[in-house]
A = this chain, B = another copy of it.
Amino acid sequence: MIGVAERDVREKFRRSGYTLTSQRRAVLDALKEFKGHPSAEEVYLAVKKKNPKVALGTVYQALSVLEEIGLICAKRWSESPVRYDLNIEPHHDIRCTSCGAVEEIPGVDLGDLYETVRANTPFEVTETTLVIEGVCPSCRSAN
């Protein structure tokens, strides 16, 4: 099971007021097939294979709707376009600065840190994101 159950999709669309159009469905499906962390451009190319009529702008808009209603999450690394992930469970990914590969890092919990942050600022904290970069094994050995 790839995380997002069909009923969950319908439910979230219903509650949000957005309609579940074929384009949004296509974007979601494309994201499922990737399993990686594609950029908007890559999602666009994948969707285009099945339906050559979709425009890049539509994909961007669909992605932002899907993010807004909590079906996908967007990840930003410093020197790279935004990448999208179906996995909406809290987790952290590391990105290879050389080849761009993304891999999940298990066992990292921001809970305590979040408490510390909240306790030390008068701001209302809405986001604490850990951006992790490194070099993957194969790039390291390829040098």
Contacts and interface: CB of A to CB of B under 8 A. Distances in A.
A97 to B, nearest CB: 7
Nearest to A136: B123
A4 interface: no
How many monomers of this protein are in the complex?
Answer: 2
A105 interface: yes
B124 A133 contact: no
30 contacts: A76-B76, A76-B78, A78-B127, A92-B117, A94-B117, A94-B123, A96-B123, A97-B127, A103-B121, A106-B120, A107-B116, A107-B119, A108-B116, A110-B113, A113-B113, A121-B134, A122-B136, A122-B137, A123-B135, A123-B136, A124-B140, A127-B131, A127-B132, A127-B134, A128-B131, A128-B132, A128-B133, A129-B131, A130-B130, A131-B131
Interface of A: 76, 78, 92, 94, 96-97, 103, 105-108, 110, 113, 116-117, 119-137, 140
